[in-house]
Amino acid sequence: MAAETYINSIDDLAAHEEVATPMHHRITLFDDNGQRKAQATVLTEIGQEHYLFHDPDGEAFARVTVADHAEVLRITGSEYRDLLGRAYYLLSGAGANRNAITDAVATLTATARYGGPEEPVHLRVGATDNGIVIDTGAADWAVIEVTASGWRIVRQHGVNFRRTTKATALPVPGEADFSLIWKYVNVEVADRVLVAGWLLAVLRPHGPFPILLLLGEQGTGKSNSSRILKSLTDPSGVPLRPPPRDDRDLLVAALNSWVLALDNLSGATPQLSDALCRLATGGALAGRKLYTDTEESAHNIQRPVILNGIDDLASRPDLAERCIHLTLPTLTTRTTEAELAAQFKVDAPKIMAALLDGVALALRDVATVNIGVLPRMADFAKWAAAGVPAVGFTAESFITAYRSNQADAVALGLESSAVACTIRSFVERQGHWKGTARELLSRLNHEAEADRNMPGWPHSPKGLQTILRRLAPSLRSVGIHVERGRDSANQYVALSCKPRGKLPQVPQPPEEPDGRMAVVAHAREACTVAAASVEFDL
């Protein structure tokens, strides 16, 4: 069948149907001499009509105009390859050869990487000069712009967001009512302010992000609570993931999700514990690009994480201090998943609107909110304290709950470590001790005849030194100081027991003239959606 029977130019294609290609030039199947062009040539010409660029990591992207909006696609990804194949089919009436698509993608990738501009590309949440922008995940690629003065939904914008294949749309914000969330997230009343603070942090474009750890017996709604929190921040067709097998699995999951929700963990290996620490506060996660080569792919990445399980998951002190530990109460009433999903679809827009109000308030007040002496993960603490008044709490209630939770986490981490327990017992009796790591290991072995056979007990002075570096911050918080140094003879370790100081208190808010207490982060009027006519499907 002759090519002219089909659509043989991009101009004709535009008249035929809307396609993801701007119609700036006439692209035909034949050259000026009437000779049919190679498939790779036509595919490359189609791709060169797109806006080609690369991100700071050198990843190649194409911004493609579709109807009245733009989509950002990774050039080497399956979606963009399918887009090129579809355009070629509509142009010629025949499918493009796989090798031709590969050749075209290689040329377009080089064009974007070496000839295109560098622009940031975000996943779900990004930063702008004026505030924060959030990808709605909707079909029209609209975003939510949040500033210190409010928020609005915008369809026409120049912000680059990449999407993963499983990403779905956020709830469309409506009239704000954050209290509805507690119908779906089963936590103790005293812990609700911590969940609110964590949610506000998730809608911030950078960390640190404390890990939300949901523990409880079977039937406490751990998985459902995790699913609801994920749906309000980074909804996905597959919201909960099984525990990763190794660092590479964790890296792939983090690169393809803004919020990583790991379901039903029965424990955390030392390797996974260290990787989660890096994910929470920032650090490189690495893995081989292919199992058959030695080249490594490393990414410095931060992500919000939800963990749930029955057993204690954060037994290592460094992970415990990066977690918000919540023990879920037993459910007193139950409903079917279908009924819960239907009701959540009604309530989610109101919860979403309240969260956006909180983000706007945090942008406005984060620089001025007073939380006293800064705790660990101070950036998170200040942000959450500044935003929680918009969702029904006070800055003081948040920081008090957060300090208490951190103290419990430190105690839990120390109690879970046989070495820490032995050191505490030893130093509290001795008051002060100094010697080599080998001598200390010998003393600790004598102190703990049974515990030294447990997994994780050091079997060499070097192993003990490593554990001491990990435990030192937590031990210091309970009054045990670890010092390492060198004298004229050897490297030494000095342990001393000091009185434990009280946790710093949050300064009390000033009193107003009538005797009432003024809130540290002031209340604000609720934000409204600028484009009231915007509609999405949940």
Classify residue 428: in a domain, yes or no. Answer: yes
* 47, 81, 115 - which closes a domain: 115
Judged on CB neighbours under 10 Å (0-12, 13-18, 19+), 358 is buried
Helix, strand or coil, per DSSP, at residue 379: helix
Classify residue 200: in a domain, yes or no. Answer: no
Alpha helices in 256-336 (DSSP H): 270-281, 317-320
If one counts the domains in the chain, the total is 2
Classify residue 83: in a domain, yes or no. Answer: yes
Classify residue 293: in a domain, yes or no. Answer: no
35's tokens? 């000779």
Q: Report the C-alpha dihedral over residues 332, 404, 368, 176, rounded to 10 degrees.
A: 0
Cα separation of 525 and 391, whole Å?
Answer: 12
pLDDT of residue 23: 42
Chain CA centroid to CA 535, Å: 27
- Orientation of helix 98-110 relative to helix 39-48, angle to 10°: 40
The CA–CA distances, whole Å, from 11 to 8, 46, 108, 359, 528 equal: 9, 12, 21, 45, 42
Contacts of 374 (CB under 8 A, 6+ apart): 381, 382
pTM of the model: 0.79
Count the residues in the chain: 538
- The DSSP annotation for 434-503 comes to EE-HHHHHHHHHHH-TTGGGSTT---SHHHHHHHHHHHHHHHHHTTEEEEEEE-SS-EEEEEEE-PPPPP
* 115, 140, 165 - which closes a domain: 115
Strand partners, 236: 167
Classify residue 235: in a domain, yes or no. Answer: no
H/E segment holding residue 345 = helix 337-365
Q: Which parts of the chain register pLDDT below 70?
A: 1-25, 283-299, 314-315, 449-452, 499-538
Cα separation of 21 and 50, whole Å?
Answer: 7
Cα separation of 54 and 33, whole Å?
Answer: 35
Cα separation of 48 and 62, whole Å?
Answer: 9
CATH number, residue 506: 3.90.1150.220
pLDDT of residue 315: 67
Judged on CB neighbours under 10 Å (0-12, 13-18, 19+), 531 is exposed
Cα separation of 487 and 461, whole Å?
Answer: 17
pLDDT of residue 227: 95
Helix, strand or coil, per DSSP, at residue 189: helix
Contacts of 339 (CB under 8 A, 6+ apart): none
* 87, 115, 143 - which closes a domain: 115
Classify residue 137: in a domain, yes or no. Answer: no
Domain span at residue 421?
416-518
Q: Which amino acid is at 216?
A: G
Q: What is the pLDDT of residues 425-473, one digit of tens each?
A: 888 888 899 889 898 988 888 887 666 677 778 889 888 888 888 888 8
Classify residue 499: in a domain, yes or no. Answer: yes
Q: What is the pLDDT of residues 319-378, one digit of tens each?
A: 888 999 999 999 888 888 889 999 999 999 999 999 999 999 999 999 999 999 998 899
Q: Tell me: cis bond preceding 208? Omega within 30 of 0 counts.
A: yes
Classify residue 489: in a domain, yes or no. Answer: yes
Regarding beta strands 211-215 and 305-309, do their DSSP bridges make them parallel or antiparallel, or are they unpaired?
parallel
